């Protein structure tokens, strides 16, 4: 088993953090961006960023996509689909067929 070496990084906002991957996301900035309510607050950070990167920030926008299309977004996994499905159903909406 190999151990990844973490390197100290500083984001544009001046936060210092350690990362062992090439991922440029600052965990402090990401925590500050985490919504407190709404359907995006139910998702993991990678899944939330995947939707935001593809312009999906509302349930209405989510209805324009099928589940299969959503799963193609980088960072979106199958564990997020039940949460999205439930949020849509609660509001009388659904994924595109």
Q: What is the mean pLDDT of the chain?
A: 91
Give pTM, 2 decimals: 0.72
Calculate mean pLDDT across residues 44-56: 93
Calculate mean pLDDT across residues 82-93: 97
- 65 and 29 both lie in a single domain: no
Instruction: Return d(Cα 50, Cα 72) in angstroms, integer.
Output: 10
Domain of residue 97 covers 37-97
Most confident option among 30-34, 37-41, 68-72? 68-72
Has residue 1 been placed in a domain? no
Has residue 2 been placed in a domain? no
Instruction: Return d(Cα 67, Cα 58) in angstroms, integer.
Output: 15
- 57 and 16 both lie in a single domain: no
Calculate mean pLDDT across residues 80-95: 97
Has residue 25 been placed in a domain? yes
Residue 15 burial class via C-beta count within 10 angstroms: exposed 0-12, middle 13-18, buried 19 and up: middle
* CATH at residue 64: 1.10.150.20
- 29 and 44 both lie in a single domain: no
- 25 and 72 both lie in a single domain: no
């Amino acid at each position: 088993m190999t151990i990844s070496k973490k390197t100290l990084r500083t984001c544009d906002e001046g936060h210092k953090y350690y990362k062992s991957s090439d991922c440029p996301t600052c965990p402090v900035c990401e925590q500050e961006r985490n919504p407190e309510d709404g359907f995006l607050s139910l998702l993991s950070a990678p899944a939330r960023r995947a939707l935001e990167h593809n312009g999906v920030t509302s349930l209405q926008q989510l209805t324009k996509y099928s589940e299969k299309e959503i799963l193609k977004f980088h960072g979106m996994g199958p564990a997020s689909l039940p949460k999205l499905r439930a949020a849509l159903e609660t509001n009388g909406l659904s994924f595109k067929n």
